[in-house]
Amino acid sequence: MTEKRIPSTRSTTLTIAFVTWLRILRRRALWVSMVIAAMPVLYAGAMMSLIGSGERSSPVSGDLFAIELLVLALLAPMFVATAIGEEVEDRTTTYLWSRPIARWSVLAGKLLTLVPLMIVLVSASWSLAGWIAWDRLPPMQTYSALAACALAMSLVATGIASLSPKHGMALTIVYLLFFDFPLGVLPQTLREMSLGHQVRTLSGMFPDESGLLSAAISLVAIALVWTVVAALRVRRIEA
């Protein structure tokens, strides 16, 4: 006789993380993401062959970081919104929601696999691009900023995908590229709502943008809003 008990949230989260990892490994997502993550390296290589290895303050630095942000703005929706959207579209949520599990733990499990994967990909890309551009690794602060960005963008993608599972990916890309990033170049008050702007500030690569603590708080606040949206929405989704 099988022992009857409700699975713990930890066990559920780890199980979902394991399944997510298996599915990522056995599909083309990893290859597609590697192609996208290789683009900053391509840029660094091409630029260095054109203008030679320069100072960190060369225009290449800002461009490279901007490209990494663009890469994350594509990877986060591709991984996270796809992972959520496909469950709903393929109706595999019927298996999940009929199990004795807290629904948010499904989202947590997916993020547990996907966010570190994105951080590894983008850090490798950033390290390689930085090495090519400046003959040394970029400062640690920039890695932290990119990691925070990966997490925050993933939470945005989670929120949007829980609202519109079928088209969550396209909508997240549109949100990040056509709302969030342009917001970052607007005057002070408005740009505080931009995730991209806060990450640029956290990276420390743009001297005109200061206030690490306030940037970190704003980033957490933006991510929290989308987390709440996702958590509330996922409780109500019917299969």
The verdict on 229 binding another protein (CB under 8 A) reads no
Residue 31 has which token pair?
């290859």
Under the binding rule (CB under 8 A), the answer on residue 165 touching another protein is no
128 forms part of the interface with another protein (CB under 8 A): no
Asked if residue 88 binds another protein (CB under 8 A), the reply is no
Q: Is 57 in the site for another protein (CB under 8 A)?
A: no
Rounded least distance, CB 26 to another protein, Å: 4
Residue 5, judged by CB atoms within 10 A of its CB (0-12, 13-18, 19+), counts as exposed
Which window, 40-48, 146-154, 189-197, 218-226, contacts another protein (CB under 8 A)? Answer: 40-48
Q: Does residue number 84 form part of the binding site for another protein (CB under 8 A)?
A: no
- The CB-of-210 to another protein minimum distance in angstroms stands at 26
Q: d(Cα 17, Cα 4) in Å, to the nearest integer?
A: 23
Asked if 228 and 157 touch (Cβ cutoff 8 Å), the reply is: no
Nearer to another protein, 35 or 140 (CB): 35
Which three-class secondary structure state does DSSP give residue 116?
Answer: helix
CB of 180 to another protein, least distance (A): 14
6 scored as a contact of another protein (CB under 8 A): yes
Identify the CA nearest to 168 among candidates 99, 237, 95: 237
3-state secondary structure of 196: helix
Q: List the structure tokens of 13.
A: 């989260």
Structure tokens at 11: 């066990």
Residue that the structure tokens 């030679």 belong to: 52
Q: CA-CA distance, 149 to 199, in Å (whole number)?
A: 6
Q: 7's torsion region: left (phi>0), alpha (psi -120 to 50) or beta?
A: beta
Q: Does 23 help bind another protein (rule: CB under 8 A)?
A: yes
Which is closer to another protein, CB of 112 or CB of 215? 112
77 binding another protein? (CB under 8 A):
yes
The DSSP call for residue 184 is T
Binding site for another protein (CB under 8 A): 1-7, 11-12, 15-16, 18-19, 22-23, 26-29, 32-33, 35-36, 39, 42-43, 46-47, 50-51, 63, 66-67, 70-71, 74-75, 77-78, 81-82, 85-86, 90-92, 94-102, 167, 169-171, 173-174, 177-178, 238-239
